[in-house]
Amino acid sequence: MNIYDIAELAGVSIATVSRVVNDSPMVSEKTKRRVRKVMEENNYTPNVFARGLGLDSMKTVGLMCPNVADAYMARAVAYLEQNLKEYGYDCILYCSGYDDEERRVAVNSILQKRIDALVLIGSSYAEDDEDSEKVEYIREAAKQVPVFMMNGCIRGENIYCALCNDFQAAHMAVTELIQTGKEDILFLSDSHSYSANQKLKGYQQALRDAGMPVNEKLCVYAENRIDRVRDLLLSRNDLMFDAVFATEDGLAIGALKYAKKRNLSVPRDISIIGYNNSELSVCCDPELSTVDSRGERLCKIIIDSMMLRLKNREIRSKVYANGFLVRRETTDF
């Protein structure tokens, strides 16, 4: 059943049918009704390919992230998909992995689908060094479609970024720790992404602002796996700390497991703050204080800007949201 069939059955031309499909105002209500009736009776739906060919768009946006199995990204994808759908856009999903070459390939593949916009989810798409050659493929992509980065930041034409102000959030969280009397605060991270580095800077600045020393040794990196983190901390007898600021909830829980193994009381002997306010943070015991990094807010910003951008309106190329601390049992307050 195609447009010709409908046209014939309705006794009009295909142009008219097309107009009805696109709800053009230049068709009389009467014919519209008639054509619509035929379409419904025959359960007609326009062929998306033909439509795409003509319009060079299929109303699809590409969603790309290193790994949807990650809770943070999954939440973002869920939110974006949900809302994009309401604007009539479908999503094609692409998990790129964390490897640079894989990513380049992934972006090129997804571009071939003639998506209307691309959103890159997660801070791993941007190294700290904004001008790195490594992200040239993203600038290249932006020549074809508008690129939206969630928690990443690359300066460039047609690239739009929405980020949590990680510096501010980390500063706030660490300051909180300091105020409860903690003196040796461990910075625990699993990455050197732009975002992770912002958190590090916030951590360091908070210490300086409080007139405390910044001990390089207290900055440790570990794979984001609970058992690994626990074992690593257990093995580092050289480290003395009475608080942990982790850049991911998973890391924080690793620290919690470490504390338990060491028979340390939380938060008395050791306070812990995580990041992302994920489901994990309420599973553990005691429950984890954590920074809410405003995932939903960022998604919303991205969708709103995208819709404006697709109408060729001017939009801001960089928007921040402030994180806030969710206080639970792993900190005093």
- Identity of residue 180: T
Is residue 88 helix, strand or coil?
Answer: coil
Site string for DNA, 35-74 (x = CB under 7 A): -----------xx--xx-xxx-------------------
By CB under 8 A, residue 82 contacts a second copy:
yes
Give yes or no for a contact between 249 and 281, defined as CB atoms under 8 angstroms apart: yes
Which of a second copy, DNA, none lies near 2, with the C-beta cut-off 5 to 8 A by kind? DNA
231 Cβ contact partners less than 8 Å away, ≥ 6 residues apart: none
For the CB of residue 116, give the shortest distance to DNA in the complex, in Å. Answer: 14
| Nearest in space to 130 (alpha carbons), one of 217, 199, 197, 37 | 197
Choose, by CB under 8 A, the member of 26, 28, 30, 49 that binds a second copy: 49
By CB under 8 A, residue 81 contacts a second copy:
yes
- Identity of residue 224: N
| Nearest in space to 274 (alpha carbons), one of 184, 168, 210, 199 | 199
Supply 243's token pair. Answer: 């608080």
By CB under 7 A, residue 12 contacts DNA:
yes
Which of DNA, a second copy, none lies near 317, with the C-beta cut-off 5 to 8 A by kind? none
Give dist(CA 158, CA 210) in Å, integer.
Answer: 40
Supply 235's token pair. Answer: 């093995």
Q: What is the CA radius of gyration of the chain?
A: 25
By CB under 8 A, residue 112 contacts a second copy:
yes
Give dist(CA 63, CA 75) in Å, integer.
Answer: 12
What residues numbered 249-278 form the site for a second copy, per CB under 8 A? 250, 253, 256-257, 260
Give dist(CA 12, CA 15) in Å, integer.
Answer: 8
Stretch that binds DNA, among 7-15, 124-132, 150-158, 175-183 (CB under 7 A): 7-15
For the CB of residue 294, give the shortest distance to a second copy in the complex, in Å. Answer: 16
Give yes or no for a contact between 289 and 327, defined as CB atoms under 8 angstroms apart: yes
By CB under 8 A, residue 280 contacts a second copy:
yes
Q: Which is nearer to DNA, 41 or 279 (CB)?
A: 41
Give dist(CA 160, CA 315) in Å, integer.
Answer: 8
Q: Which is nearer to DNA, 55 or 240 (CB)?
A: 55
By CB under 7 A, residue 290 contacts DNA:
no
Binding site for a second copy (CB under 8 A): 45, 47-50, 52-53, 56, 58, 60, 63, 67-71, 74-75, 77-79, 81-82, 85, 90-95, 109-110, 112-114, 226-227, 250, 253, 256-257, 260, 279-280, 282-285
Binding site for DNA (CB under 7 A): 2-4, 11-16, 18-19, 21-22, 25-28, 30-31, 46-47, 50-51, 53-55
